Structure 1
């Protein structure tokens, strides 16, 4: 989970973990004040959609969420807020799109190295 938190930090996103069996939604960063009941309700309301797709994108009134069904028990979600200056540029969507199209993610310590580039699939 440490690498997921690092990726969320790089993307300027909140990271949320869904336990599929219990439908429990938790923000991974305990110090976040961004817990949003609307986001939690959106995720729970769409749990069937999220469990039937490896990757999914959900929009809501003040942001969007990219989800990744990582195993039979968990879904990892990256929540981007539209009021955040980095989210309005669309850069986060481009970064996530590149990750999703890549077969293997690189080691997290390489993300911050100068000249780092993902290989294309």
Structure 2
């Protein structure tokens, strides 16, 4: 039998790179203490993401939905920073998609490995 494709590895790397970029850009572009706290809050799931925990990726994806929505709302509310906010919202959406797909593919790959084991 063929070994399963390791799509989860690519999704994990995508989520991790997007997450780190989102943290850096949120902190770098924050103009208030609230914006700084929002960027620092994204450090909470980082240790679990580095370990590759599917559970952490699953709950952190729910956090990213809120970030994406708030960044989109901020982009529509403040026309002077609209392009930056939409860029950050797109990055949050990529991060969300990478996390969800990592959980999905990782679970499928783990089940396939369990079925192959004697």
The higher radius of gyration belongs to 2
TM-score over 0.5 for the pair:
no
Q: Give me the TM-score of the superposition, normalised by structure 1.
A: 0.30
